Amino acid sequence: MDEVLHKTYQEVEERHWWFVGRRLLIWQLLKKHYYSEKSAAILDVGCNSGFLVAQLQTAGYDAAGCDISAEAVSYGQNQGRRGLSVCALPQLHYPNGQFDAVLCLDTLEHIRDDKLAIREIGRVLKPGGIAIVTVPAFMFLWGLQDEISHHFRRYTKKELLVKIQAAGFSIERVGYFNFFLFPLIYLVRQAAKIMPLRRRSDFDINNKLVNYVLKNIFLSEIWLLKIISYPFGVSLLVVAKKI
């Protein structure tokens, strides 16, 4: 990922509708389903500047984070965020079996050898540890954001499950999210293929009202994931347990 995009993330991750909603999803999974005990050791792989890591630490978790971008890690450290280091999949510098949970949030698509990356996640997990993985779904949604983010792929459910299971995991949960906004995102990306548009990131939203509306739509959807599953979505979620 370009350093320019890393810097954009640093500027918007606290308030942008996408990051706010995804964090709520992770909190729901950690608090309600898997690691409600606050002593759990959690690694956020691809943490950017460590905003979520800091929140996890504030909540009492033993959290650490790593990112390929030295600039992003330095930015986080200058903000007083602890436990951050520069390293990246598929080669982490943590000991075998150190963590109860690994968060791999929209990171696998950036890695050429994602199979090796998934095995590396398994290496740093304790037996019975949980990996929470989110990735972009469906290649027909491929667009400018994928290109400027240097993605190698978007995933189908079958493809991701096969790779995770082959790395020695059992599947605890699988499903889609970003369902409510799927039609809008699909139409925008299809239109962009036939009409010349200014190259800009999806995270480059300066209109506070637009961000507010999208955030509340997304938060409502994430809350409903407690009780329902969506048939498709812009993103895919897998929770897997190390066997």
Q: Look at strands 169-177 and 41-45 and give their pairing.
A: unpaired
Give the residue numbers spanning the domain of 128.
Answer: 3-242
The dihedrals phi and psi of 214, each to the nearest 5 degrees, come to: -65, -40
Q: What is the pLDDT along the chain (243 residues), one digit of tens a residue?
A: 555 555 566 678 889 999 999 999 999 999 877 776 778 999 999 999 999 999 999 999 999 999 999 999 999 999 999 999 999 999 999 999 999 999 999 999 999 999 999 999 999 999 999 999 999 999 999 998 899 889 999 999 999 999 999 999 999 999 999 999 999 999 988 888 887 665 555 666 778 899 999 999 999 999 999 999 999 999 999 999 999
H-state helical runs in 195-233: 208-224
CATH code for the domain in which residue 147 is found: 3.40.50.150
Identify the CA nearest to 59 among candidates 87, 34, 75, 39: 39
Predicted structure pTM score: 0.92
- Nearest CA to 74 out of 104, 48, 113, 55 is that of 48
Domain count, the chain: 1
Give residues with Cβ within 8 angstroms of 21, minimum separation 6.
178, 215, 218, 219, 221, 222
CB proximity list for 140: less than 8 A, separation 6 or greater: none
Q: What is d(CA 70, CA 62) in angstroms, rounded to the nearest whole number?
A: 22
